[in-house]
Amino acid sequence: MGSLVLERRLSAERIPDKEKTKRIIKWIRYSDAKLRKKFSFLKYQNAIGFGITIGSAGGMILLGTLYVIGLIPFWACIIGNGILASFLHEMEHDLIHSIYFKESPKMQNFLFWMVWLFRANTVNPWFRKEIHLLHHKLSGNKEDIEERFISNGMPWGLRRILVMIDPIMAVALQGPRIRKDAIYYLKKIKSSPIKGPYRSIFLLLWYSFLVWGLFSLVNLALGNPIQETGVAASIHHFLNTAAVVYLIPCWLRQTSIQIVSSNMHYYGDVKSLYQQTQVLDSWWVLPLHLFCFNFGATHGIHHFVVTQPFYLRQAVAPKVRPILKKYGVRFNDFESMTRANRYEKEVESIPATA
C-alpha cells in the first residue's frame, strides 16, 4: 500500500504545473455542478447573498442589543459578532468578483455599503475591489498591494506582527516600500482608499478604548485606581460597550484573516497559479478560522475558480482538498513563515525588508 501511494505521488509530481491546474479546476467545477444539481435552491444565488448580508448585519445588531440589555455576557457578544462579521467579509469578497447582482450595480453598491459599515476597520470595498483583482493577477509578486499590506513576504518578527494586527502600523511600516514597488499599479487605481469618515471614526474609537483601558489598568496595578464620575464615566462606559458589540469583534475578525491569509499565500518566487497558495487546515489554526470562515482551508480553491460563492466553496472543500493533495498542493507548510513565505524550500538569503 505504501509503495502504491508513493508511486501515485511520484506520478503526480511528473505532471507539469499547468496540467495539474487544469485538472484541479475541472474537479472543482465538477463538484460545484454536482452540488447545484442536487440542491435546486442554489440557483437563487442573488437571493442567498442578499439574505446572508441582511441576516448577518441583523444578527450583529441583535447580539449587540442583547448584550446592552444584559441578556448575554460580553464574551458571547464578541464571539458571535466576530463570526457574523466574517460572513460579511466573505460576502464582500464575492461581490468584488460580481458573484451577486452582476446585472444591478445599484444593488451591488447597496450591499457594499452594508458589508463595509458593519466592518468599518477595513478599507472601503470599492478600493479593495481594485487591489483584490490585482492580487489575482499578480499574487506572490512585489506589486501585490493587498497581500503585502497585511505582511505577506515580510520576514518573521516584531515588524511583521505589528503589520498583521494594526492598520496604522501596516501603513507606516509597509506603505513606503509598497508605493515604491507598485507605483505603476497604484496610479491606475481609480477608487480612493478613503470614502467618508467611517474608518476614521472606527480607529478613533478603537485607539481611545485601548489607550483609556491601558491607562486604567496601569493605575490599578499601581494601587491607585481612577475614580471616574460624570462625563468621564459615561464616555468610558460608551467605549467599553462599543468595544464589545463592534470594535473587538471587527478587530478579531480582521486580525485572524490577516494572519491566515498572509501566511497561506506564497511570495517572491511564485511562478504560476499552482504555486500561489497552500492549504492551512491544521487543528491549531482553528481558533483563527472561527473568525475568518475557515479561510486557510478553502481559499486556495478560490484561486483556482474565482466565480464560486463562498458557501459552495466550503461545501465542496471536503471533496476538493484530497484532489489538491493528490496533485501536490502543499498542506500546512508552516516552515514557509521562516522563509518570508517563499515557495522554494531552499533559500540562501531573505531580504531584511520584504
Task: Report residue 82 as a C-alpha cell.
Answer: 466576530
C-alpha pair distances (Å), 42 with each of 32, 38, 47, 125, 349 = 10, 9, 9, 25, 49
Q: What is the mean pLDDT of residues 6-14?
A: 59
Q: What is the mean pLDDT of residues 67-85?
A: 98
85 within 8 A of 245, measured Cβ to Cβ: no
> In this predicted structure, which of 53-62, 133-142, 215-224, 297-306 has the lowest mean pLDDT?
215-224
291 within 8 A of 260, measured Cβ to Cβ: no
Q: What is the mean pLDDT of residues 44-72?
A: 98
Asked if residue 11 has pLDDT above 90, the reply is no
C-alpha pair distances (Å), 257 with each of 70, 75, 281, 299 = 30, 20, 14, 11
Asked if residue 295 has pLDDT above 60, the reply is yes
Q: What is the mean pLDDT of residues 265-284?
A: 97
Q: What is the mean pLDDT of residues 204-228?
A: 86
Asked if residue 351 has pLDDT above 70, the reply is no
Confidence of residue 5 (pLDDT cuts 50, 70, 90): very low
Q: What is the mean pLDDT of residues 78-105?
A: 98
139 within 8 A of 128, measured Cβ to Cβ: no
Cα(51)–Cα(148) distance, rounded to whole angstroms? 33
Asked if residue 353 has pLDDT above 60, the reply is no
**pLDDT value, residue 1:** 47
Q: What is the mean pLDDT of residues 236-246?
A: 97
342 within 8 A of 336, measured Cβ to Cβ: yes
Sign of CA pseudo-dihedral 183, 187, 188, 194: positive
What 133-141 contacts at long range (C-beta under 8 Å, 24+ apart), as own/partner pairs, is 133/96, 134/185, 136/303, 136/306, 138/185, 139/265, 139/270, 139/273, 139/276, 139/277, 139/303, 140/265, 140/266, 140/267, 140/268, 140/269, 140/270, 140/275, 140/276, 140/343, 141/267, 141/270
Asked if residue 4 has pLDDT above 70, the reply is no
Asked if residue 3 has pLDDT above 70, the reply is no
Cα(43)–Cα(312) distance, rounded to whole angstroms? 12
Q: Which residue has the cell 494594526?
A: 166
Q: Which residue has the cell 485572524?
A: 256
Q: What is the mean pLDDT of residues 270-283?
A: 97
- Residue 207 CB partners (closer than 8 Å, separation 6+): none
Q: Output the average pLDDT for the chain.
A: 93
pLDDT in tens, 307-343: 999 999 999 999 999 999 999 999 999 999 999 999 9
The interaxial angle of helices 248-264 and 158-165, nearest 10 deg, is: 130
Phi-psi sector, 323: left (phi>0), alpha (psi -120 to 50), beta: alpha
Phi, psi torsion values for 50, nearest 5 degrees: -65, -45
**pLDDT value, residue 8:** 53
Coil, strand or helix: which one is 277?
Answer: strand
Asked if residue 98 has pLDDT above 50, the reply is yes
**pLDDT value, residue 32:** 97
**pLDDT value, residue 108:** 98
Length of the chain: 354
56 within 8 A of 311, measured Cβ to Cβ: no
pLDDT in tens, 110-131: 999 999 999 999 999 999 999 9
Task: Report residue 207 as a C-alpha cell.
Answer: 485607539
Asked if residue 347 has pLDDT above 80, the reply is no
Q: Which residue has the cell 444565488?
A: 45
Cα(168)–Cα(57) distance, rounded to whole angstroms? 26
Q: Nearest CA to 350 among 160, 111, 218, 200?
A: 160
Spell out the domain ranges in the chain.
1-339
**pLDDT value, residue 218:** 82
